[in-house]
Amino acid sequence: MAKRRSTRTARTAWLERLKDLPHAPGVYLMKDDAGEVIYVGKARDLHSRVRQYFQEGTSDYRAFIGLLGVLLADVETVVTRSEKEALLLEREMIRRYEPRFNVIWKDDKQYLCLRVDPNHEWPWVQVVRNVKKDDAKYFGPYHSASAARQTLRVVNRHFQLRTCRDSVLYNRTRPCLEYQIGRCPAPCVFEIDKDKYKENVDDVLMFLDGKGDQLARRLEQRMWDAAERTDYEVAAHYRDQLRAVQKTLAKQNVASSSLIDQDVFGLYREGDDVGVSVVEVRGGRAQNITTNLFEGTSANDEDLLESTILLRYESETVVPDEVLTPIPLGAADVLAELLGDKRSKRVRVHHPQRGDRVQLVALAAENAEHGFHEQRRKNGALERTLTGLRKKLRLSRLPGRIECYDISNFQGEGIVASRVVFEGALPNKALYRRYRIKSTHGQDDFASMYEVLMRRLQRGKHERDLPDLIVIDGGKGQLASAHAALRDLEIEGVDLISLAKSRVEAIGPDEAPVHSPERVFTVGAKEPIVLSQSSAELLLLARLRDEAHRFAITYQRKLRQKTRLASSLDDIKGIGPARKRALLTHLGSLARVKRATVEELAEVPGIGKKAAREVFVALHPGEA
């Protein structure tokens, strides 16, 4: 199907049609032949922004841009008095029309929250998915069910609140097992001290609200007061509560040296699927993390983040002092003004370049990646990727377990190999392995690959532990070596492919390199399979390849460091094989030998002060 936008005539026609757009802020609506709005955007300058879509050599590579020539029938604009008004109007238009190419914010109902109603006769902690407008207190949402239930386990074990529902509470005639093991005072059956129960509720609210340091001080004071009264059983109870709180605090990330409230946004993208996470930092600690998954979005990273920030604080009652973003936002000042109006206090929207804030953004990015894969697993996207991989590469089975191998060497020496394993399209690091090449000398990647696969597959055949798919980092040569190993061991039913990196094919008119696509080679096929460069299937293979490469490089560097250190020991005057063995045996590793002081080296059996000084000076020439 021809794309009208790609022709010079169509571009010229649209530029002529839009030449009278005002140089003013506003909102533009793109419509199709049926009059339906397919995209809504905001602009600081409507004339420049809208015409930019149709200018030759545009740098906007979003997927839907190439479809405008086919879909677009009309462009309507609305002028506003400021960029701030344009941002607000864009939000309203997106909500009203739900355009197919915009990010549509969805309610975060899949996340768990903890609910406590302090007005109840006997409050308790509930796990809920929907936040209602009532007098109860809600904590969360939690980024995973395990995080919410882990918090609930700490509360139930150490703070002695009931765990049963109202229907059970008011109809029970004898206490349950929770009472028997000392985790509930059983208000369902016994007359208990309501003030004491309320104290426990207040402690729980403080714990869930992130005021762990304040709660720890309160519990410590109660513990010492009970000890002074010689009420040691009560003191032990407070001690256990205090340890639980301190243990929980130790697991939290000390996110910032400042004590201001911050929301830190992270972003992770695979093709048109994007995960956006928010790390809530309160009082210098990371308190909660949420992640939203946007599948098949055509929005670029900047538009996606701006929409996410705007829509998040429309429903959030608490606006922090500072919002940190992983990339610079063109509308940062406008967003800061809008959030400041809602908070009635200045809010900063900032892309950090250095210091603690950069580490916070890195933490958010890490959680965006984790939440991205977790949610894709839950909604079946990973299963669809594996199914697509099987279909497009014509595999014999669904690749539930994939192993990827890479060979690494440094100037022909220190040849090593790595194996990474993905199960269900997610890494299983417990099954990662590293190999030192034994029979191959010199730089021979083909022979090295054959050796590694022979060692792995011989054992796998004996133990009946073989993967569904083997991925080799390389081209036809590496693939042939791996296939030879499978053939020589007479192994059938294991699919085999290799993934070749893209290479520079030419230099463009602007002196920018033109790269070939990444190619997948299969056994017996002359021509490689070229997957869409933004497809989930190719992104999965590339992630496997990159992980195997990283794992191999890390191992090789570690071995080179050990070799350099070992040779340093060999060259030290007075240190022969016996003393070298004594040093390694006593201190445990080469790295610990290097970190040891002269006194620690002298304590090694058979190493006197003189030899210890020789070793230290040799390993620390700069400190001699």
379 and 366 in contact (C-beta within 8 Å)?
A: no
pLDDT averaged over every residue in the chain: 80
- pLDDT of residue 251 exceeding 60, the answer is no
Range ranked top by mean pLDDT from 1-15, 457-471, 531-545? 457-471
- pTM to 2 decimal places: 0.51
Are residues 220 and 286 both part of a single domain?
Answer: no
Are residues 547 and 428 both part of a single domain?
Answer: yes
- Domain containing 456 equals 393-556
Are residues 413 and 267 both part of a single domain?
Answer: no
Within a domain: 257: no
Residue 437: count other Cβ atoms within 10 Å of its Cβ.
21
Are residues 417 and 503 both part of a single domain?
Answer: yes
pLDDT value of residue 389 = 93
List pLDDT tens digits, range 540-595: 999 899 999 988 888 777 776 665 555 567 667 777 778 877 887 787 777 788 88
Six token digits for residue 456 = 């792995």
- pLDDT of residue 445 exceeding 50, the answer is yes
pLDDT value of residue 6 = 45
Q: Tell which residue, 8, 5, 41, 3, has the closest CA to residue 25.
A: 41
Within a domain: 211: yes
Say what angle helices 332-343 and 301-315 make with each other, to 10 degrees.
0
List pLDDT tens digits, range 109-134: 445 678 888 888 888 888 877 666 67
> Half-sphere exposure of residue 544, counting CA atoms within 13 Å on the CB side?
31
d(CA 473, CA 408): 10
Within a domain: 107: no
Are residues 196 and 148 both part of a single domain?
Answer: yes
pLDDT value of residue 4 = 39
**DSSP label at 330?**
T
Within a domain: 603: yes
List pLDDT tens digits, range 264-274: 999 998 877 88
The mean pLDDT value for 321-350 works out to 90
- pLDDT of residue 325 exceeding 90, the answer is yes
Range ranked top by mean pLDDT from 132-136, 340-344, 387-391, 577-581? 387-391
Q: What CATH number did the domain enclosing 28 receive?
A: 3.40.1440.10
**DSSP label at 116?**
E
- pLDDT of residue 279 exceeding 50, the answer is yes
pLDDT value of residue 488 = 93
The mean pLDDT value for 181-191 works out to 82
Within a domain: 535: yes
List pLDDT tens digits, range 469-500: 999 998 888 999 999 999 999 999 999 999 98
- pLDDT of residue 383 exceeding 80, the answer is yes
pLDDT value of residue 159 = 78
pLDDT value of residue 393 = 93
Are residues 93 and 209 both part of a single domain?
Answer: no
494 and 468 in contact (C-beta within 8 Å)?
A: yes
pLDDT value of residue 69 = 73
Are residues 577 and 600 both part of a single domain?
Answer: yes
Give the pLDDT band (50/70/90) at residue 326.
very high
Range ranked top by mean pLDDT from 35-49, 91-105, 122-136? 35-49
Are residues 63 and 127 both part of a single domain?
Answer: no
397 and 391 in contact (C-beta within 8 Å)?
A: no
Domain's final residue, options 350, 378, 406 = 378
Q: What CATH number did the domain enclosing 344 receive?
A: 3.30.420
Give the pLDDT band (50/70/90) at residue 285.
low
The DSSP secondary structure of 157-178, one letter per residue, reads: HHS----S-HHHHTT-SS--HH
d(CA 548, CA 555): 11
The mean pLDDT value for 77-97 works out to 78
Range ranked top by mean pLDDT from 154-158, 160-164, 197-201, 389-393? 389-393
Within a domain: 241: yes
pLDDT value of residue 360 = 84
Q: What CATH number did the domain enclosing 597 receive?
A: 1.10.150.20
Are residues 435 and 534 both part of a single domain?
Answer: yes
Residue 478: count other Cβ atoms within 10 Å of its Cβ.
23
The DSSP secondary structure of 306-329, one letter per residue, reads: HHHHHHHHHH-S---SEEE-SS--
Within a domain: 564: no
> Half-sphere exposure of residue 376, counting CA atoms within 13 Å on the CB side?
27
Q: Which of 102-116, 147-161, 225-239, 436-450 has the lowest mean pLDDT?
A: 102-116
416 and 437 in contact (C-beta within 8 Å)?
A: yes
Q: What CATH number did the domain enclosing 491 receive?
A: 3.30.420.340
269 and 246 in contact (C-beta within 8 Å)?
A: no
- pLDDT of residue 346 exceeding 80, the answer is yes
Domain count, the chain: 5
List pLDDT tens digits, range 291-313: 788 887 777 888 889 888 888 88
Instruction: Tell me which of 376 and 321 has the higher pLDDT.
Output: 321
pLDDT value of residue 110 = 47
pLDDT value of residue 535 = 84
pLDDT value of residue 241 = 76
Are residues 552 and 576 both part of a single domain?
Answer: no
AA identity, residue 204: V
Between the two ends of the chain, the Cα-to-Cα distance in Å is 75
Are residues 17 and 139 both part of a single domain?
Answer: no
Instruction: Tell me which of 597 and 244 has the higher pLDDT.
Output: 597
Give the pLDDT band (50/70/90) at residue 257.
very low
Domain's final residue, options 39, 69, 97 = 97
The pLDDT > 70 percentage for the chain reads: 83
Domain's final residue, options 323, 347, 378 = 378
Residue with tokens 């096929």: 525
- pLDDT of residue 327 exceeding 90, the answer is yes
pLDDT value of residue 255 = 42
The DSSP secondary structure of 123-141, one letter per residue, reads: --EEEESS--SSSSEEEEE
Q: Tell which residue, 107, 120, 178, 115, has the closest CA to residue 148.
A: 115
Are residues 133 and 23 both part of a single domain?
Answer: no
- pLDDT of residue 390 exceeding 90, the answer is yes
Exposure string for 276-296, b = 16+ CB within 10 A, e = fewer: bbbbbbbbbbbbbbbbbbbee
Within a domain: 51: yes
